[in-house]
Amino acid sequence: MKPKVLLTHDLFPEAIELIQKEADIEFCTSGRPPQKSEIITKIKNKQGLLCLLVDQIDKEIIDAASRLKVIANCAVGYNNIDVEYARSKGIYVTNTPGVLTDTTADLTWALILAVARRLPEADRFSREGQFTGWQLDLLLGQEVTGKQLGIVGMGRIGRAVALRAQGFQMKIVYSDPCPLSSEQERKYQAHRVSLEELLRTSDFVTLHLPLNAQTHHLISSRELSLMKKEAILINVSRGPIVDEKALAEALEKREIWGAGLDVYEREPQIEAKLKQLNNVVLLPHIGSASRETRLKMALTAAKNLIQGIQGKKPANAV
């Protein structure tokens, strides 16, 4: 008899086929994301769980899963899972690192350029028939080339963002508790500074950190007040790293020039004030959303799940 696994959501057919060779699959059907009560009921006889970042896998669910060997998250971030508790029960938790690095760095750059050059506003302007001729001062934005980029969190994605910044001849500073080696600093042309110095001196500040107790509201009113008036804040990591109310206020009062967000504090809700402002670009958490990358994420999660149910240490155990 094959081991049984629970999938909180449907996946691409290629990933389903892979899992089906090794396990019997049951799906959650009560919604997207499914109700917690459904996960609790269905997890009882399962050896594996494959979930998305929208599923909160807490103590109650883990306690209901007496046979569970692995929780495979289809995301690189895993703040939606009580990892410590799962580990204490001998359950592997896995993520999908690496496969989404470039895609997320690309989207970071799309946001930097979209905010700096006011692309959504310019698009609306054109569609609304307001383009009546070239004007010297039409929709003026911020120069990107040659400016300073501050990268908060110099992990895989932060480093991929830095590589792309070299094409824009930017000065790159970063803050991270773990310094890069001097060889890496040369490769990424990046210089480590304190968070405070980064905020005070950078023209663009981009966040690439995991969400945890230390990074929750890392950027709030005080930090925003340190930033330059012309600065732009980009967040493609996790929403609660930024105090969204404080950001909306800073943007409204023009204490900073603009922001680009792909993630929110209370997803899928977006702070009402942000939606009224023109100087923020709002995306629906699509950092890794290329066809190729999302398939790779699903396949990576499926492989982690299979390794876990077979009693092997999964390649991407966190």
Tell me which residues touch ligand DGY (CB under 6 A). Answer: 53, 75-77, 100, 287-288
Q: Catalytic site residue 124?
A: no
Among this protein's residues, is 127 annotated catalytic? Answer: no
Question: Nearer to ligand DGY by C-beta: 182 or 214?
Answer: 214
- If one counts every other C-beta atom within 10 angstroms of the C-beta of residue 120, the result is 15
Q: Which three-class secondary structure state does DSSP give residue 129?
A: coil
Q: For ligand DGY, which is the closer residue by CB, 77 or 141?
A: 77
Nearer to ligand DGY, 34 or 287 (CB): 287
* Minimum distance of ligand DGY from residue 76's CB (angstroms): 4
The CA distances from residue 13 to 50, 206, 304, in Å, are 15, 35, 17
| Biggest alpha carbon–alpha carbon distance for the chain | 72
285 an active-site residue?
A: yes
Q: Report, in Å, the least distance between residue 299 CB and ligand DGY.
A: 14
Task: Give dist(CA 286, CA 138) in Å, integer.
Answer: 29
> How far is residue 42's CA from residue 91's CA, in Å, rounded to a whole number?
17
The 70-73 sheet, strands edge to edge: 24-27, 4-7, 48-51, 70-73, 92-94
Please name the residue that has the structure tokens 């155990």: 317
The one catalytic residue among 117, 156, 217, 285: 285
- How far apart, in whole angstroms, are the C-alpha atoms of residue 285 and residue 301? 19
Alpha-carbon span 82 to 61, nearest angstrom: 10
Decide whether 93 or 170 has the Cβ nearer to ligand DGY. Answer: 93
Query: Which residue's CB is nearer to ligand DGY, number 76 or number 173?
Result: 76
Cβ nearer to ligand DGY, comparing 53 with 207: 53
Cβ–Cβ < 8 Å for 295, 269: no
At closest approach, how far in Å is the CB of 77 from ligand DGY? 3
How far apart are the C-alpha atoms of 236 and 209, rounded to whole Å? 9
Q: How far is the CB of 298 from ligand DGY (least distance, A)?
A: 11
Distance CA 200, CA 264 (A): 24
* Cβ at position 202, least distance to ligand DGY in Å: 23
Catalytic residue among 118, 208, 238, 294: 238
Strand-pair partners of 25: 5
Least distance from C-beta 173 to ligand DGY, angstroms?
Answer: 24
Q: Supply the residues annotated as catalytic.
A: 238, 267, 285
